[in-house]
A = this chain, B = another copy of it.
């Protein structure tokens, strides 16, 4: 094993990947990871007691992100995946400063994919209030496509609508039309689903945005980025066994287990409750 600066941290390739979100939305990322990397073991953390993060201050979200990072590092993860756009938008430096292992985040993965996809160089971003206010997508897309113009739209009702299960309800359609109107009016050809809840609205949003618009689902792009990095850093697991994933939440483990099974399309094992 080569011993560069990073490799001197002793890494067991069969250690798990830590994935975290404010709640259940990050399971869309976990699902994409399980499809792309079926032998990798995942330790998932959802901060269900303190969700949603998308309407809270940067300082508060950063404090929560630090606490979760510490929790997952103690579970001996080999990589951290920030599966929450709001945390990625306002707390990424906190996570990377604390972490001796590589960090991948949904926001950067989505920005890369959008920059690569857009022909018109006008990219729409749908996200939470906190993510939009942070300007993080403008910066991340700007880093990969300096000539692109970014049109951001806060969609604070999307997450509650998804949680109500109204994925294709007239109320959701009316809400989506309202949020999409000013974005589509700017001639965007690419729309980033900038919150892990939003991929569940993809069929509806695709219908309203029309076939000329590419939807960037950052769950899929994040899984691709994780696979690339694991390979590049020699961190792909060696085991070919069915991995025993672990799930931790700060509230309502039974509800997480039930809704999580729908998100993942497979039953979840015991979900552990963390008291903070």
Contacts and interface: CB of A to CB of B under 8 A. Distances in A.
A160, A161, A163, A252: most-surrounded residue (chain B CB, <10 A): A160
Interface string A52-64: 0001110010000
A226 B164 CA distance: 35
Interface in A149-206: 156-157, 160-161, 163-164, 170-171, 174-175, 178
A49 interface: yes
Interface string A24-52: 00000000000000000000000011100
A271 to B, nearest CB: 13
A205 to B, nearest CB: 16
A251 interface: yes
Contacts of A160: 156-157, 160
A161 B170 contact: no
Contacts of A170: 174
A251 to B, nearest CB: 5
A57 B156 contact: no
Contacts of A171: 157, 171, 174-175, 178
A48, A170, A175: most-surrounded residue (chain B CB, <10 A): A175
Contact of A49 (B60, B156, B174): B60
Given A161-B157, A171-B175, A56 B60 contact: no
Contacts of A164: 156-157
Contacts of A156: 160, 163-164
Given A50-B50, A170-B174, A175-B171, A163 B55 contact: yes
14 contacts: A48-B56, A50-B50, A55-B163, A56-B251, A57-B251, A57-B252, A156-B160, A156-B163, A157-B157, A157-B160, A157-B161, A160-B160, A171-B175, A171-B178
By Cβ-Cβ distance, the 6 closest A-B pairs, closest first, are: A160-B160, A60-B251, A171-B174, A49-B60, A171-B175, A57-B252
Given A57-B252, A156-B164, A171-B178, 4 more contacts: A49-B60, A57-B251, A157-B164, A171-B175
